[in-house]
C-alpha cells in the first residue's frame, strides 16, 4: 500500500515496526502512556485537543528519529486522515442525542397524558360518590317515614281495662317486654312458667303463646310492652308500682287488673 494513502497513525506504526521498536520501548523513551501511543496508532484519539495531539505526534517522531514536519505539516488535512472516525462518531453522537431528546419529549408527553387521565378519573369517582350521597338523601327525604307501632295509653284513673288486640298473621299471641329500668318480670305462656327474673335496663324479652300469656311486673312503669305489634307505653300505674296478673288472650285481648 502506498504510504501516502496511510493515515498518520498507520505511518507511525509502520515506521516503528520497521525500526524494530515495541510500544513499550517508545513508552520508555517518551514517557507517554502506552494507551495514548496505542490510540495514536489505532486512530482512536477522538476526544483529544488537536494541540495536544500535535505535540504527541512530535514526541513520537522524535523517539523514532523521524522528521515531525513530515507528519504534522498541513496538520488540518492530516488530522482528518489521522482520525477518520471522528466525524462518524460525532454524527453518531448527534443522532443518538437526537433520538434521546425525541424519546424524552415523548416520555414527558406520555406522563402529562397519564396525569391528566388520573385527574379526570379521580374527579369522576368523586362526582359519582357525591352524587350517590345526594340521591340517597333525596330518597330518604321523599320516602314516607315508617309508621310507629300502634300505641295504647291506659289512664291511671280508668277502671280495669280490657283492650282488643290485632291478630297475628299466623294466629296466636306475641309479647315483647322492654325494660327502661331494671324490673322483675314473671311470664307464663299457656300455663307454663317460662321467665321469672329481673330484666336489666336496656334488655328485652319476646314470648309467643297459642292462647294465653300471664304477665306480672315488679315495676310496671319501668317497662314497655308490645302485644301483637301494638305498643303499650303507659300501663296506668305510678312509678315503682307493681302490676300483677296481667292476662293476655287472643279472644279477650289485654286485661289489666286494678
List the domains of the chain with CATH numbers: 3-83 (1.10.260.40), 150-256 (no CATH)
* Contact criterion met (CB below 8 Å) for 229 and 150: yes
Pairwise CA distance, residues 240 & 220, whole Å: 7
Per-residue pLDDT tens, the chain, 258 aa: give them.
555 567 788 888 888 899 899 989 989 988 888 888 888 888 776 666 777 778 888 888 888 888 877 777 644 444 444 444 444 444 555 555 554 555 556 678 888 889 988 998 888 888 888 777 777 776 776 666 555 444 444 544 444 556 666 665 567 898 898 988 888 999 999 899 999 899 899 999 999 998 899 989 888 888 888 988 888 776 767 777 887 888 988 777 878 876
pLDDT at 12: 85
- Give every CB contact of residue 63 below 8 A, 6+ residues apart in sequence: 21, 26, 29, 30
What SS3 state is found at 237? coil
Burial of 34 (0-12, 13-18, 19+ CB in 10 A): middle
pLDDT attached to residue 38? 86
**Burial readout 115-151 (b: 16 or more C-beta within 10 A, e: otherwise):** eeeeeeeeeeeeeeeeeeeeeeeeeeeeeeeeeeeee
Q: What is the pLDDT of residue 166?
A: 65
Residue 129 confidence (pLDDT) = 83
Q: pLDDT at position 45, please?
A: 65
Q: What are the C-alpha distances in Å from 160 to residues 31, 108, 187, 219?
A: 130, 89, 20, 18
- The whole-number pLDDT of residue 219 equals 84
Between CA 234 and CA 97 the distance in angstroms is 92
What pLDDT shows up at residue 207? Answer: 93
Per-residue model confidence (pLDDT) at position 68: 77
Q: Which cell is 49 given?
A: 485537543
What is the rounded distance in angstroms from the CA atom of residue 67 to the CA atom of residue 75? 14
- Total number of residues shown for the chain: 258
Amino acid at each position: 500500500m502506498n504510504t501516502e494513502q496511510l493515515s498518520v497513525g498507520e505511518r507511525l506504526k509502520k515506521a516503528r515496526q520497521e525500526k524494530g521498536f515495541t510500544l513499550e520501548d517508545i513508552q520508555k523513551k517518551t514517557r507517554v502512556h502506552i494507551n495514548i501511543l496505542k490510540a495514536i496508532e489505532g486512530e482512536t484519539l477522538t476526544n483529544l485537543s488537536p494541540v495536544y495531539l500535535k505535540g504527541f505526534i512530535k514526541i513520537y517522531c522524535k523517539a523514532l528519529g523521524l522528521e515531525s514536519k513530515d507528519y504534522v505539516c498541513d496538520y488540518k488535512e492530516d488530522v482528518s486522515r489521522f482520525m477518520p472516525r471522528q466525524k462518524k462518531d460525532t454524527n453518531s453522537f448527534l443522532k443518538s442525542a437526537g433520538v434521546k431528546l425525541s424519546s424524552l419529549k415523548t416520555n414527558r408527553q406520555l406522563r402529562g397524558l397519564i396525569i391528566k387521565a388520573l385527574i379526570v378519573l379521580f374527579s369522576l369517582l368523586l362526582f359519582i360518590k357525591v352524587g350517590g350521597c345526594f340521591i340517597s338523601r333525596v330518597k330518604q327525604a321523599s320516602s314516607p317515614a315508617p309508621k310507629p307501632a300502634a300505641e295504647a295509653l291506659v289512664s291511671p284513673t280508668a277502671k280495669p281495662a280490657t283492650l282488643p288486640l290485632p291478630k297475628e298473621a299466623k294466629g296466636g299471641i306475641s309479647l315483647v317486654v322492654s325494660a327502661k329500668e331494671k324490673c322483675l318480670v314473671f311470664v307464663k305462656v299457656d300455663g307454663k312458667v317460662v321467665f321469672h327474673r329481673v330484666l336489666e335496663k336496656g334488655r328485652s324479652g319476646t314470648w309467643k303463646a297459642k292462647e294465653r300469656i300471664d304477665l306480672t311486673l315488679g315495676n310496671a312503669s319501668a317497662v314497655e310492652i308490645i302485644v301483637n305489634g301494638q305498643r303499650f307505653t303507659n300501663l296506668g300505674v305510678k312509678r315503682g308500682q307493681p302490676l300483677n296478673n296481667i292476662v293476655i288472650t287472643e279472644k279477650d285481648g289485654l286485661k289489666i287488673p286494678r
